Amino acid sequence: MKKKAFVLLAVIMVLTLGCFIASAGKQRVMAAGNETASSSQTGEQEEAGDNATGLKAVAAGLAVGLGAAAGAIGMGIAVAKSNEAIARQPEAASKINSTMMLGLVFIETAIIYALIVAILIIFVL
């Protein structure tokens, strides 16, 4: 199971990196074409701004998406393990539940940090 998750994560990372490389190459080709062709400065600046905005949106989406996916997987594992522990030792259910809730809060905090990073990417950079 861990191997499948690692392979899936690796595939997602490779595809993401490929998209960024392809968009960077496209920007270089467009910049080279703009240097040889006669076009206005405002058109070039608008086009560069559109590309930058699109890349920011992709980066923000990846930050939130990967953070939320990893958090959801972690939460699922934590809940499953706590249920197993309660099934084995029902008298410790309250202590297990309180510890699990504290762990889920920390996981959710990491997801909220990913959202904050995405908002910073969109509005600050």
**pLDDT number for residue 115:** 87
- Cα separation of 2 and 76, whole Å? 14
Q: Which one has a higher pLDDT value, 22 or 3?
A: 3
What pTM value is reported for the model?
0.58
Q: What is the pLDDT of residues 37-90, one digit of tens each?
A: 445 555 555 555 567 777 888 888 888 888 888 899 999 999 999 999 999 999
As a CATH number, domain 2-123 is 1.20.20.10
**pLDDT number for residue 30:** 55
117-122 long-range contacts, CB within 8 A, separation 24+: 117/63, 118/59, 118/60, 118/61, 118/63, 118/64, 119/60, 121/56, 121/59, 121/60, 121/63, 122/56, 122/57, 122/60
